[in-house]
A and B are shown apart, each in its own frame.
Chain A
Amino acid sequence: MAIVFEKPKALTDAVLHYCPGCPHGIIHRLVAEAIDELGIEGKTIGVAPVGCAVMAYDYFACDMIEAAHGRAPATATGIKRCRPDNIVFTYQGDGDLASIGMAETVHAAARNENITVIFVNNAIYGMTGGQMAPTSLPGQVTQTSPYGRDVKHCGWPIKVSEMLSTLEGPEYIARVAVNNVKNVKNAKKAIKKAFQNQIEGKGFSLVEVVSACPTNWGMTPQKALEWVESDMLPYYPIGVYKDRTAAKEAE
């Protein structure tokens, strides 16, 4: 019988622990497909975050390390500086990357550290049970913003891609989404490019993946994907925010 669909080799056989309807599975797959297609599994070292993807080290078949909360870009820096010929990526959520780890994120980008960062933005702290994230939308109800995020009290959500793209340092900053097939396909392209850039020594490449959290948003998976389209993407528009090489070629 012909095999028409299989799991990427860069994923292990471990059963994912993510909630039903969670797009982390899709994003893991996109990363693994990119690794497979570029033929880099044997030299890739992944850095798992603290957050829902904390056990990503069990799911990716390459060498893996579990970082402290928010410190993945620093830990990845340590690895990459020791083993510049390996491919190093981090996989981080919004609390990890944009709250506690913002300093590490900004400075790794400013250094144009030659690593790939996969940033999953689902506007909530998932693993701890649905608290307000640095990317939670104004008015969004969470466990710690039960009356809706009041921007007068706790400020505005952070647009990471826009912010990082103001830096001289990074090579490539793009925002994608995984709420429909078309967007998933584009997300794959961006992720693959972010790895390709590292292979070519171009430097810091970050892909912000706008995702969903049906469980903590209190929605069905389908409704959650609709909410990404209706509420998330207007605040977090899809697009390439920085591409140094493309910009140079365009000149």
Chain B
Amino acid sequence: MAERVLMKGNEAIAEAAIRAGCRHYFGYPITPQTEIAAYMAKKMPKIGGVFLQAESEVASINMVYGAAATGCRVMTSSSSPGISLKSEGLSYIAGSDVPALVVNVQRGGPGLGGIQPSQSDYFQATKGGGHGDYRMIVLAPASVQEMASLTIKGFNLADKYLMTSMILADGTIGQMMEPISFEDAEIETYEKPWALTGTECKRKHNIVNSLYLKPDELEVKNFERYERYKIVEENEPMWEEYMMEDAEICVVAFGIASRVAKNAVVAARAEGIKVGLIRPITLWPFPTKALRAAADKVKAFVSVELNMGQMIEDVRLATECKRPVSLCNRAGGMIPSPEQVLESIRKAQKGE
């Protein structure tokens, strides 16, 4: 096993990206993700890569778009308000079918909001954000180790399916340090015959484009894209089940909320409540099958979130409303305590 090192979550993302072959980073400063940019600024010049601080989030995502169109592994990172600005580019990247990795270390919103951790960009990440019909693969790390492993996975998936992978983290996971070991990154490589490399006057020109003025052609493009998304939904959902074997109550939580929820599950088990946790690791594709299966076994679900209740809608859809789903939440940068989650579990157990 590789040596354990202590690292901040944000730094783990940056280091993992470099290990995944990313040599181009375009970003703009915003709290609480700045360590990613700082790490890249320090490392990239030493390994023949490019770190460029853009004039805005809008510019940086469009730099990512251009870089992705050349077939390079490229990334940007930001936090909630910055992702709103990047949404334009995310839509173009989706419409042009080029791969990119985008990190959102979420903070409280809406508007300028705050700088403390949040999960209130769940809708923005999983339902769109930018305009038009499109999806992004959304990966939700719950530890520093996963910040690294999901970054590498995200690059691979982006290349495989020609779409954006988004790391949806939060200020806590970004700022905390945990031991992490970098196993040899499994870097998958894919042919990119569509890339802009210059024709060398040997082939027809490649065009990277999202404009289709004929509606029938644009419709075909959209249907094709959703065929690809169907494969992603079939093959790529990831989740963790914790103490679910005999569970009567199922807590659903991702990211930092799942860490708090685990403490509460342990405490509830100590009280004799049969409770388990399903932790979605991919938020899109959502682990629908796992939740649908759980709905046949448990009597209630508790969705624990750092927002006003966003993922809970997907929990209800996945479980086809077969069981009651209650919300245990804090917002604005606050984090629920294990006691608060425990209380929600107790209530669910009593059928309240």
Q: Chain A residues in contact with chain B, CB under 8 A?
A: 12, 41-45, 47, 54-55, 57-58, 60-68, 71, 74-83, 86, 103-104, 106-107
| A66 neighbours in B (Cβ, 8 Å) | 96, 207-211
A107, B209: Cβ atoms under 8 Å? no
Contact sample, A vs B, 30 pairs, CB 8 Å cutoff? A41-B199, A42-B198, A42-B202, A45-B196, A57-B207, A63-B196, A63-B198, A64-B205, A64-B208, A65-B209, A67-B62, A67-B65, A67-B66, A68-B89, A71-B59, A74-B54, A74-B66, A77-B59, A77-B63, A77-B66, A78-B26, A78-B63, A78-B68, A79-B70, A81-B24, A82-B50, A82-B74, A83-B198, A103-B55, A106-B55
Count B interface residues, CB 8 Å: 39
| A86 neighbours in B (Cβ, 8 Å) | 197-198
| B60 neighbours in A (Cβ, 8 Å) | 74
| A65 neighbours in B (Cβ, 8 Å) | 65-66, 69, 96, 196, 207-209
User: Most chain-B CB neighbours within 10 Å: which of A64, A71, A107?
Assistant: A71
Quick check: is B155 within 8 A (CB to CB) of the other chain?
no
Quick check: is B314 within 8 A (CB to CB) of the other chain?
no
B198, A82: Cβ atoms under 8 Å? no
Q: How far is the CB of B221 from chain A (nearest CB, A)?
A: 13
Quick check: is B200 within 8 A (CB to CB) of the other chain?
yes
A62 to B26, CA, bound (A): 26
Q: Chain B residues in contact with chain A, CB under 8 A?
A: 24, 26, 50, 52, 54-56, 58-60, 62-70, 72, 74, 88-89, 92, 96, 196-202, 205-211
Q: Known: A71-B62, A78-B24. Contact between A62 and B199, CB under 8 A?
A: yes
A76, B207: Cβ atoms under 8 Å? no
| Residue of B with least CB distance to A88 | B66
A182 to B265, CA, bound (A): 81
A55 to B209, CA, bound (A): 10
User: Most chain-A CB neighbours within 10 Å: which of B55, B72, B88?
Assistant: B55
A83 to B60, CA, bound (A): 17
| A54 neighbours in B (Cβ, 8 Å) | 211
Q: How far is the CB of B155 from chain A (nearest CB, A)?
A: 15
B59, A79: Cβ atoms under 8 Å? no
A106 to B56, CA, bound (A): 12
A78 to B100, CA, bound (A): 12
A82, B205: Cβ atoms under 8 Å? no
A104 to B59, CA, bound (A): 6
| Residue of A with least CB distance to B67 | A78
| Residue of B with least CB distance to A77 | B63
Q: Is the interface of B mostly helix, strand, loop or mixed?
A: mixed
B198, A78: Cβ atoms under 8 Å? no
| B199 neighbours in A (Cβ, 8 Å) | 41-42, 61-63
| B69 neighbours in A (Cβ, 8 Å) | 65, 75, 78-79
B201, A41: Cβ atoms under 8 Å? yes
A135 to B65, CA, bound (A): 28
Q: How far is the CB of A10 from chain B (nearest CB, A)?
A: 10
A107, B67: Cβ atoms under 8 Å? no
| B70 neighbours in A (Cβ, 8 Å) | 45, 78-79, 82-83
| B62 neighbours in A (Cβ, 8 Å) | 67-68, 71, 74-75, 78, 104
Partner of B88, one of A68, A79, A104: A68
B197, A78: Cβ atoms under 8 Å? no
B209, A82: Cβ atoms under 8 Å? no
Q: How far is the CB of B159 from chain A (nearest CB, A)?
A: 15
User: Most chain-B CB neighbours within 10 Å: which of A65, A83, A106?
Assistant: A65
4 closest residue pairs by CB, A with B: A78-B66, A78-B63, A75-B66, A78-B67
A81 to B92, CA, bound (A): 20
Instruction: Using A43-B200, A79-B70, A82-B66 as known contacts, list a sample of 10 further A-B pairs with CB atoms less than 8 Å apart, ordered by residue number in A.
Output: A43-B198, A44-B198, A64-B207, A64-B209, A65-B66, A65-B96, A65-B209, A66-B211, A68-B62, A71-B59
| B67 neighbours in A (Cβ, 8 Å) | 78-79, 81-82
A42 to B204, CA, bound (A): 10
Q: Known: A82-B70, A83-B70. Contact between A77 and B198, CB under 8 A?
A: no
Q: Known: A42-B200, A55-B211. Contact between A75 and B65, CB under 8 A?
A: yes
| A78 neighbours in B (Cβ, 8 Å) | 24, 26, 62-70, 74
Q: How far is the CB of B342 from chain A (nearest CB, A)?
A: 48
B197, A63: Cβ atoms under 8 Å? yes
A107 to B52, CA, bound (A): 12
A95 to B53, CA, bound (A): 25
Partner of A81, one of B63, B65, B202: B63
